[in-house]
Amino acid sequence: MKLVNPTQYRFEHLATQMKWRLQEGRGEAVYQIGVEDNGLLVGLTEEDMKASLKTLRRMAE
């Protein structure tokens, strides 16, 4: 997963998806930054990793 500069639409979709996953997981959801849904490694730069983590934190607010 790479969460660098998502559009507003994409961000809202991701935040809604996170809320659903948290409900289904009884308050727990696991996100693997740098790994696609199919398990392939994306290979993030340090900058992309920092940006992805920042986006993930915003989604959790």
Query: Hey, where are the domains in the chain?
Result: 30-61
- Residue 17's pLDDT is 95
Helix extents (H) in the chain: 8-24, 46-60
Cβ atoms of 47 and 2 within 8 Å: the answer is no
> pTM of the full predicted structure?
0.79
3-state secondary structure of 52: helix
- Residue 14's pLDDT is 94
- Residue 37's pLDDT is 80
Q: Which amino acid is at 59?
A: M
CA distance to 14, 56, per residue, from 32 (Å)? 14, 11
Per-residue pLDDT of the chain (61 residues; tens, 9 = 90+): 779 999 999 999 999 999 999 999 999 999 888 888 888 888 889 999 999 999 999 999 9
CA distance to 9, 43, 45, per residue, from 13 (Å)? 6, 23, 24
